[in-house]
Amino acid sequence: AQTVTQSQPEMSVQEAETVTLSCTYDTSESDYYLFWYKQPPSRQMILVIRQEAYKQQNATENRFSVNFQKAAKSFSLKISDSQLGDAAMYFCAYRSVSGAQKLVFGQGTRLTINP
Amino acid sequence: ETGVTQTPRHLVMGMTNKKSLKCEQHLGHNAMYWYKQSAKKPLELMFVYSLEERVENNSVPSRFSPECPNSSHLFLHLHTLQPEDSALYLCASSQDTVRETQYFGPGTRLLVL
């Protein structure tokens, strides 16, 4: 079974600086998807970024980018120019494209932005 | 904002009550999901529906009963719950169950007394 591990329960960063959230996963599959979701205090889970495993190029969405290392099974999220609105729980998630179709989530990282 | 809504947003119920959670998606998606989010635990998938047919039941106790009358609506019927069932229940939808991204609703915060 696939597992997702986020080893940082909490992180903090100064406003306008850069922070990297870690995620590792375990799978025997070669084709899959990886996601970062953000859950602000209002509780709405929002998609931040998505990566297809067959693509070597790292996904980017404005200030958010990932470092996808397939061989190492690592999928970190970098947030540049951190803003107060980035404060939230961040969840890394894995999704297979065969068999079980569910999202497997990590435990989450709580990100605090210091003004 | 996502096009997935959930009602109620908060619910308190006794162990002998029967209640239902409602989810509606306005995105034209064909798949819908129920997740449970408990404190200090990863989100757990409960049920998956694709084109109104249940395609996955993730070993959920029978006191949780899902219903998907059409591709836009998903219900979770609750009866004789236990205090450990208190959690945030999240609904999500996606275009399909294979390659498409899931979009989440705001959740229902459930407290079982």
Supply the pLDDT for residue A47.
93
pLDDT in tens, B5-62: 999 999 999 988 899 999 999 999 999 999 999 987 888 999 999 888 888 777 899 9
Supply the pLDDT for residue A10.
96
For residues A21-42, give the mean pLDDT. Answer: 92
Q: With helix as H, strand as E and coil as C, how does chain B read?
A: CCCEEEECCEEEECCCCEEEEEEEECCCCCEEEEEEECCCCCCEEEEEEECCEEEEECCCCCCEEEEEEECCEEEEEEECCCHHHCEEEEEEEECCCCCCCCEECCCEEEEEC
Res. A102: pLDDT tops 80: no
The answer to whether residue B10 neighbours chain A at the CB level (below 8 Å) is: no
Res. A72: pLDDT tops 60: yes
pLDDT in tens, B89-108: 999 999 887 767 889 999 99
Residue of B nearest to A4 (CA): B42
The answer to whether residue B91 neighbours chain A at the CB level (below 8 Å) is: no
Supply the pLDDT for residue A100.
57
Residue of A nearest to B2 (CA): A46
From B45's Cα to the closest Cα of chain A, the distance in A is: 7
As given in the structure block, the two tokens for residue A112 are: 């605090």
Return the higher-pLDDT residue of A95 and A80: A80
pLDDT in tens, A79-88: 999 999 999 9
From A16's Cα to the closest Cα of chain B, the distance in A is: 24
Taking contacts as CB-CB distances below 8 angstroms, the residues of chain B near A109 are: none
For residues A2-14, give the mean pLDDT. Answer: 95
